[in-house]
Amino acid sequence: QARKVAALGLEARFERVFLTWRYGHARSKPSPWCFEKIRALTGARPCDVIYVGDNPSKDFVGLRPLGYGTIRVLTGQHAGRAAAPGHDAELTLPDLDALTRETVSALHGRLAAAHAEEPTP
């Protein structure tokens, strides 16, 4: 993963890059640990975070139940893999070209509205 980050120049494009395995196996996907760490650092709500991935066996299962936005792209080695019940993303797209600002805004709007309807503890 570190080589992918370097090859894509991601560290220059983002404030922080988290590689989950660096925090130990128990904190790698599907654990939401890194995402909760990001939220603590930024003050974001789960509905303000949208995760885009391709592997339904681990990418979304730990995040979606917590209210995070999840988008699956049907590319790569997992494109034909069916998701187990409760393991798929909220939204599925054919590829990254279909991931537009409008798509992300619409998903965020739905999540924020659902979050606003949740009772406050």
Per-residue pLDDT of 36-58, as tens digits, reads 998 999 999 999 998 989 999 99
Mean of the pLDDT values across residues 3-7? 88
Burial class (CB within 10 angstroms; exposed 0-12, middle 13-18, buried 19+) of 28 = middle
Q: Can you give the residue ranges of every domain in the chain?
A: 2-117
Would you state the CATH architecture of domain 2-117? 3-Layer(aba) Sandwich (3.40)
Per-residue pLDDT of 29-40, as tens digits, reads 889 999 999 899
Q: What is the pTM of this model?
A: 0.84
Tell me, what's the pLDDT at 21? 84
Burial class (CB within 10 angstroms; exposed 0-12, middle 13-18, buried 19+) of 8 = exposed
Residue type, 91: L
